[in-house]
Amino acid sequence: MRYTLILAFCLLFGLSTQAQNKLVQGFLRDASSRVVAGASVKLTSDQDSLLTSSSMSGLYVFDNVKAKSFKITVSSIGYETYTNTFEFPAGVSKFNIPSFQLNATSQQLEEVVIDGVTTVIVKSDTLEYGTANLKLRDGALVEDALKKLEGIEVAADGKVTAQGEEIKRIRINGKDFFGGDVKTATQNLPADIIQKIQIIDDYGDMANLTGNKTGDSEKIINIQIDPEKNKGYMTTLRMGYGTDDRYQATGMYMAMKEGMQFSALGNLNNINAPLFDFNTAGGGARRMQGGGGRGPGGGGGFGGSTGLTNAGSLGLNYRQDFSPKLTVYGSYSYSHDDQDVIATSVNQYTFPDSILLKNSNSTTNTIGNNHRFEANLEWKPTLNDFIKLSPTLSFRKSEVSAISDIKNYFRGTASTTEDILYSSEYNTNNSLSKSPNYGISGLYNRKLNDNGRNVFFNMNVNSGASKQDQERIIETIVKDPNNMDMTEEQVYRRTLAELDNKSWNGGASVSYIEPLSQFGKLEVSYDYNINTYDNTRNQRTFKEDGGIFDSPGFNFDRTYDYSFSTHRVGANYNYAKDKIKYAFGASVQPSILDGDAYVDGKTIGIRRNGFNFVPIARFEYKFNRQKNLSINYSGNSVEPSITQIQPFTDNSNPTNIITGNADLAAEFRHQLRLRFNSSNFEKGKTFFAMLNTSLSQDKIVSNNLRYADPLLGVVQETGYLNADGAFSVQSFYHYGRSLKKKTYNLMFMGGVSFNNNISFTDSRKNTASNWVFNQGIMFRYNPSENFELNPGVRYQYNTTKNSLTSQSTNVSSWTPTLIGSVNITPTWIFGADLSKSFNNGYGGNLSNVNPFVINSYLEKKFLKANRGTFRLAAFDLLNQQTNISRSVSDMLISDSRTNRLARYFMLTFTYKFQKFAGGIAPQEESGFPGGMRPPRR
């Protein structure tokens, strides 16, 4: 693989050093000065016949032009064909085509225009919203704009869903912003710099470069900056202080000029408002055909709505278009988080002859430091070649301290008036871990002709490590059931463990695409992926007097190394015409799980071979410009985790003993997804529906054995095995109706899901049938940017039935909400957010399960251009916010609660300043990296 890369780059450098002739470039705009992207641009002369397309910024470039005089022909759907002849001035080798406008034809069918403003453009895999007619207040953020778009929902925690699918990544002008971190962009960037918002079904880099779509898509957002705002800068500073010593200090600076973007973000707060999500996958050259193995992670995140978090964050994002051929962009993010979580749980275990209750109260403190750096280099040395390199580096350090107080009670099968205390446990857990990770991914695409013949190469290498020191102290007191003042026995165990886990992941793929006709292409591909692991665990257990427990089960040194590799060879045929697009084919994927474990002086071999036949199928039908149907099948293998495959027993927690299974096979997951869209944006109607099914072969499931121990109370032993029969079916729909220029908006959304989950109890199979029904109705009255009212209600019903026992659960909730804001005067604004929960089906030992949460604010804008704002905000006025959940298995019912941020008041001051001079939009290649010619449709 290394030599293949070297050869490829040598070839590229050779090509780029060939004799260069003349260069021609220009930008495409329409009569409204909007960018025209994806247009076909042809240069012809007696010596030249060159073809390219305009990038998402409207740029088109021709290298190696030989003739002095040439003709330019531009054609694009919805525009009249433009033709003109140009000539190089004497002594000039680089010629900029003078600006000209493309005139729209009367046949334009892709745009929805209201009051002369384009609001929606429907494309193949993209839904593009104009933002000029959105009724947004001064100072609104991207998140506020998204809330007003049809088919898009923004949850209270900032999660964005479009057409029922969660948005996984966000881009600014076609490039990842802070690694694609969605909330970082939506909750910090102002809405008034946006020209349009695109919702894209992204199939990865290969699909963007070649047009051949394989695998399943990922929902992403691309924000196109208004060209008038692409030259200048903006800054926002916010400081606030409140009751209970709540504080917030944030800052944002963003500078842009032609070809450059720079952003800096900072955040200090103790109101559970993290700036970055370090679980975001990051950019890079995404491989869509891989075997599905787990790569080394980039470190977890903190904050969110659970517990109380003191957070500090700093981030930098930079992009530079050095030329039409070379673009570099990347980001660095840092966070420090100190989180306290207080949890209460009530667990009921049903045994054949008794019922045991386990009530737990715990406090956990987690201190984390995260660093993340990533960069991307996109280079187009010639018109036919594109290279992308993406190095990444991350480091995480985490300290966790937890204490828990557990009471075990005995309840007979017959009705009793009170529970009998069985035993008491007091646990202390401390751990320190460090996780450095680094890697690089890259791709190379070579366009062999103008008809779609391509060679595509992709690779990635990642290395990760995790070192962890653990300390666990368990103190158990067993009571005499007949005399609670008497203690029958006491147990003390102090366990020290050292864990050292290393992983290495590498993969490469190559695809060759051959056009067979005007609309059909054949793709042949090969993909190789390997994950290797090197794991060590050393453990010692001590008595209260400092002596070591005389048991090999508590004192050991163990090492286990293994690798999981897959090969995939496949071929598929792609057909794409105006209304119908489809692909069919197949691939074969052998997999090998191989390794050795060294346990108690013995060597245990791990050897498993697998083989999967993977169909390739995708179908799209376009009934008209706003009505389409798509069906897609994908399949991938999932390797066992380290815990699942370790060939020994981990009893560091004596009440939760885990034994791995070295004979586990890799799981293979089939997924079939159906999407249907039937909308009429001119009449304000939107309808989206989705059906997603998943079936797992050899699914890795748990085999649990629970029993009552006279010293420890309830003990669970967990093992793992492969089983068939696990599947899920999920559906979603959204219907929206807007009237009177979006003054009135009515939305219905909901769905039904069924999950058939498999598990084992004492080697007996249990099938948990889970149904989830949800429905929501939302109404928005928004006559102007000065007044908005959003009443709504959501309902969810969740029921689970287990086949092994009669244990079942039925949980339901009604949640009416009311969100609104009004300008009392042009500079005084009042807003409120109210929600009431009506929950049914939770255990009686949990209090306040039906909270009524009221948030409100009053703000005053002042200074020139309303640059300054004072806001007095009240959060959770009734102090009822809570976080509860219920889970049910074959013999366990568990109700839990965790603490959340309680009532507080805060006064904040915000200062915003921005200055723009207009300018040309930067290169933006959301669909086609590097400005390469888009694939033929």
pLDDT in tens, 616-655: 899 999 888 788 899 999 888 888 888 888 888 887 777 8
pLDDT at 33: 67
* CATH (domain of 258): 2.170.130
The structure tokens listed for 176 are: 């990842």
pLDDT band of residue 841 (cuts 50, 70, 90) is confident
Summarize the confidence of residues 61-72 as an average pLDDT: 88
More confident residue, 907 or 766: 907
**Strands laid side by side in the 111-114 sheet:** 111-114, 117-122, 126-130, 194-202, 218-225, 169-172, 175-176
Structure-token pair, residue 178: 């802070």
| Structural domain of 455 | 308-916
Euclidean distance between CA atoms 163 and 775, whole angstroms: 15
- Name residue 937's amino acid: R
Q: What is the pLDDT of residue 290?
A: 37
Predicted confidence (pLDDT) per residue in 322-376, tens digit: 988 899 999 999 999 999 999 998 888 877 667 788 889 999 999 999 999 999 9
pLDDT attached to residue 247 = 96
Q: Taking the alpha carbons of 210, 211, 217, 221 in that order, is the dihedral positive or negative?
A: positive
3-state secondary structure of 645: helix
The verdict on pTM exceeding 0.75 is: yes
Nearest to 45 by CA among 21, 28, 29, 16: 21
pLDDT higher at 935 or 690: 690
Q: What are the Cα distances from residue 721, in Å, to 37, 282, 662, 703, 889? A: 52, 33, 10, 7, 18
The answer to the question of residue 361 being in a domain is yes
Could you tell me if 614 and 715 lie in one domain? yes
**C-alpha–C-alpha distance, residues 747 and 792, integer Å:** 9
Q: Could you give the 3-state DSSP secondary structure of residue 106? A: coil
Residue 80: pLDDT band with limits 50, 70, 90:
confident
Residues 81 and 123 in one domain: no
**Whether residue 859 is found in the same domain as residue 843:** yes
**pLDDT category, 848, cuts 50, 70, 90?**
low
Long-range contact list for 783-787, CB < 8 A, 24+ apart? 783/743, 784/135, 785/135, 785/136, 785/137, 785/138, 786/137, 786/822, 786/823, 787/821, 787/822, 787/823
Is the Cβ–Cβ distance between 734 and 164 less than 8 Å? yes
Counted domains in the chain: 3
The conformation of residue 5, written as its DSSP 8-state character, comes to H
Tell me how far apart the alpha carbons of residues 331 and 316 are, in angstroms, rounded to a whole number.
5
Instruction: Assess contact for 886 and 845: CB atoms under 8 A.
Output: no
| 82-96, 223-237, 638-652, 835-849: segment of lowest average pLDDT | 835-849
- Residue 658 forms part of a structural domain: yes
Q: How far apart are CA 155 and CA 140, in angstroms?
A: 17
Using the predicted structure, report yes or no on whether residue 560 has a pLDDT greater than 80.
yes
779 and 867 belong to one structural domain: yes
Q: Please give the single-letter amino acid code of residue 23.
A: L
Q: Check whether residue 182 and residue 162 sit in a common domain.
A: yes
Do 212 and 73 fall within a single domain? no
Identify residue 492 by its one-letter amino acid code: Y
The secondary structure of 270-339 as a DSSP string is: SSS--S--TT----S---SSS--PPPPP------SSSSEEEEEEEEEEEEEEEETTEEEEEEEEEEEEEE
Residues 33 and 158 in one domain: no
Q: How far apart are CA 495 and CA 498, in angstroms?
A: 10
> 227 and 84, same structural domain?
no
Report helix, strand or coil for 848: coil
Q: Are residues 895 and 925 in the same domain?
A: no
**Could you give phi then psi for residue 313, rounded to 5 degrees?**
-140, 150
Query: Does any domain span residue 302?
Result: no
What pLDDT, on a 0 to 100 scale, did the predictor assign at position 416? 55
CATH number of residue 69's parent domain? 2.60.40.10
Of 79, 102, 125, the last residue of a domain is 102
Residue 606 CB partners (closer than 8 Å, separation 6+): 560, 562, 593, 594, 595, 596, 597, 645, 647, 662
Q: How far is CA 498 from CA 184, 504, 537, 623, 659, in A?
A: 36, 20, 6, 61, 18
- Shared domain for 328 and 236, answered yes or no, is no
User: Are 577 and 583 spatial neighbours (Cβ–Cβ below 8 Å)?
Assistant: no
Residue 599: both structure tokens together: 């346990």
Residue-wise pLDDT for 711-751, tens only, equals 677 788 999 999 999 999 999 999 999 888 788 999 999 99
